[in-house]
Amino acid sequence: MTRPWFDGDAHALATAIVRGECSAQQALQRTLADIEAINPRLNAVCLLAAEPARARATALDAELARCRDDAARDALLRARPFFGVPLLLKDLGPAVAWRELPSRLGSRAFGPRGIEWPRDGALAERYAAAGFVPCGRTTSPEMGISASTEALAYGGPTRNPWHLQHSAGGSSGGAAAATAAGIVTIAHANDGAGSIRIPASACGLIGLKPTRGLLPAGPLVGEGWGGLAIDHMLTRSVRDCALALDAGAGADPGAPYAAPARPASFAALLATSPGPQRIALCNAFFEGDAVHPEVAAAIDAFARTLQRLGHTVEPARPDFATLDVVRPVMQVVATGTAMLLDGFGAQRGRAIDESELEPVVRDAWRVGRTVSGADYLRALDALHALGRRMAAFHERYSLLLTPTLAEPPALLGRFAMRNPDFIDYRLGPEGLWRYTPFTPLANATGAPSISLPVALSPAGLPIGALLTAPFGADALLLQMAAQWEAAGATPPRIAPPLA
């Protein structure tokens, strides 16, 4: 199979369109052709809305045609840094509700067409204003509660383009697979316990979970999973990550959290050095258990790179256990799952049929219904206490460096949602917490956290490094990432062509 038609980042594609090297309509048509050619091997794209996308691309081409000179075109690109770029939205999350693209939430319970959104999400509107052309949705595990995208609703698993027998991660697995395969240059994602950063690591991409409140969740909801969840993008470049953050950042009217203070432009800060940082290296589980040796070697090598860039890196770990983080997070996730399923059932006047749910989700629904109000508030108190402890930790260390995943990308089937016990699936001795021990911490505290693709395993599978910063320090993470990216010797961001 040949390479995708465009192998640059999203802003490079927008620049090519504005300079007249191709039109927005041509970019869309070529992307749709790549979806047709490549997606059957991956199962990453679950819905297309080609005609509304063509209408938007046509309107953008007409807008560009009205520019009389290069100065006008340059101004257009500054105002719309993703002009004409096809965008896939994840099949989960009201922040990117889009009336032209219903959502199934990875579930058979919502039928073959899915939920019809009553209005567009604030974040989706901001993406459209930045020039994106929404054209489809990407796969997610049912209700987003797995780190591997293998939803029965889509007829099979989503495959990792680096190795088709391995997981693309989750819950934004379809977004990662589509971007890493070159189907699109960028894709929307969201993250409630690692769902941007896990697939970023598995598929060799850049994945930033922003600070709580920095991106809008409304207007259809106030927050996701008690403030654990937030939206952003999976990208091939730090530049795209920063530009997309500029495009989406800021609280929407009535948001339950004030947006953290932010620079006028994250992208403008990328050329500025972060200055020397003191970084805590935790290259093991928080309680000391070893991670996979290939992962440990990759993180140690990345730490040496950071030292060469002028940073101080020293072994240190937070003073709590992994399960101290994961247990209250899972209580909130289960409660949120029950609230969502009960709410949609009431909204449509017909209860969700349990037989249409995968076993893990059925039990998450049951567990969520058993969590009392006091239990839920205790879980939130535990998460807030972690935030206080990490704030104290960051008084000594500006950044925490860990692996993103405790091992290379898992084989498909290992985390399929067949287990009828949600707690065992997530917290048991073979549960997901042994695979993803590090990512939930930033969701618990609300802090920003970024996964960078720092290595390929001997088998050619991506390995990610996770940098977590204090609350509101998204710019520092992007500056660190830009400094690392500029230093070179980074793995490729697009997988080899599928055989």
Residue with tokens 């530009």: 243
Dmax over Cα atoms in the chain, in whole Å?
64
8 Å CB contact between 168 and 174 = yes
* Bridge-based pairing state of the strands 230-235 and 206-209: antiparallel
Cα separation, 189 vs 199, in Å, equals 10
Pick the closest to residue 134 from 208, 188, 80 (CA basis): 188
Cα separation, 226 vs 431, in Å, equals 23
8 Å CB contact between 77 and 84 = no
DSSP 491: P
Can 273 be counted among the known catalytic residues?
no
Cα separation, 183 vs 160, in Å, equals 13
8 Å CB contact between 181 and 495 = yes
DSSP 118: S
Can 237 be counted among the known catalytic residues?
no
Active-site residue, from 90, 146, 398, 457: 90
Give how far the C-alpha of residue 18 lies from the chain's centroid of Cα atoms, to the nearest Å. Answer: 28
Active-site residue, from 23, 140, 195, 451: 195
Give me the helices (H) in 397-454, please. 422-427, 440-445
Residues 6+ away with beta carbon under 8 Å from 347: none
Active-site residue, from 23, 171, 237, 451: 171
Can 209 be counted among the known catalytic residues?
no
Bridge partners of 231, per DSSP, are 190
Residues 6+ away with beta carbon under 8 Å from 128: 56, 134
- Phi, psi dihedral angles at 316 (to 5 degrees): -170, 155
Residue 236 C-beta-side C-alpha neighbours within 13 Å: 22
Residue 46 C-beta-side C-alpha neighbours within 13 Å: 34
Cα separation, 383 vs 317, in Å, equals 18
H/E element, 14 = helix 10-18
**Cα Rg for the chain, rounded, in angstroms?**
21
Q: Which residues are catalytic?
A: 90, 171, 195
